[in-house]
Structure 1
């Protein structure tokens, strides 16, 4: 298993034409997006459970994660990472000015675990060959 990449040219919008810096950076080539069914099929090849059983387990786990986030909890999946909510509201001058109805979820944050990062850093890369 290797991660495919291609090289992209850098855009230098900060300098005038005669001083523009040139360079390239790698971009990961995404092959596809794997859904729950795809994950279940792959996981089923590694154990004695059926695709359906694993798919249902994933769906139930996702619902449980959502419930925990809605209950003001962080959710840590050991070896993978932690999910948490970030809130936002309009600016106020005193805490008493803010009503709960004015607060909304800004984003769901994900902090990878050191174990996951270590595994990803051990990845190998191969240059993408566009065969089209």
Structure 2
């Protein structure tokens, strides 16, 4: 199934004087839910939709818990989750406090199987 995209005319934010150029922009075609994934997974395996949904619920609890302990959460070929932060600097080492951390971000790095699947993508212009 091809990934759909449309074309947009954009300016270069680094060079406002440069001529605008056309760029492809990937377009979402909808949204799927945890329940929908569990139902599809049940049709592809010996697990029930309820078992799969319960497994996803457990991950929703465990992944943030492990990240807050400072761990990288490695889910094999699916990928890994880690934390990063938006911070502000201080002039001296002593001035650095927790308030220098403005926000925490969750970063996802796809695993090999996930990357391989995405690298097989095809595209369709809308």
Please confirm whether the aligned pair reaches a TM-score higher than 0.5, indicating the same fold: yes
Runs (5+) with no aligned partner, structure 1: none
Q: Is the 8 A contact 2:88 2:102 kept in 1?
A: no
Q: Could you say if the C-alpha distance between residues 33 and 96 of structure 1 is closer, same or farther in structure 2, counting changes exceeding 3 Å? A: same
The 5 A counterparts of 1:1-132 are: 1-12=1-12, 14-15=16-17, 20-21=19-20, 23-100=21-98, 103=101, 105-128=103-126
RMSD, matched Cα: 2.3
Runs (5+) with no aligned partner, structure 2: none
Q: Normalising by the residue count of structure 1, what TM-score does the alignment of the two structures yield?
A: 0.77
What is the number of residues matched between the two proteins?
Answer: 124
Cα deviation digits, residues 99-119 of structure 1 (max 9, x gap) = 446545431112222432222
- The 2-side partners of 1:118 and 1:40 are apart by 23
Q: Normalising by the residue count of structure 2, what TM-score does the alignment of the two structures yield?
A: 0.80
Q: Could you say if the C-alpha distance between residues 103 and 28 of structure 1 is closer, same or farther in structure 2, counting changes exceeding 3 Å? A: closer
Q: Is the 8 A contact 1:85 1:105 kept in 2?
A: no
**Which structure has the greater CA radius of gyration?**
1
Q: Could you say if the C-alpha distance between residues 102 and 12 of structure 1 is closer, same or farther in structure 2, counting changes exceeding 3 Å? A: closer
Q: Is the 8 A contact 2:89 2:100 kept in 1?
A: no
- The 1-side partners of 2:42 and 2:102 are apart by 38
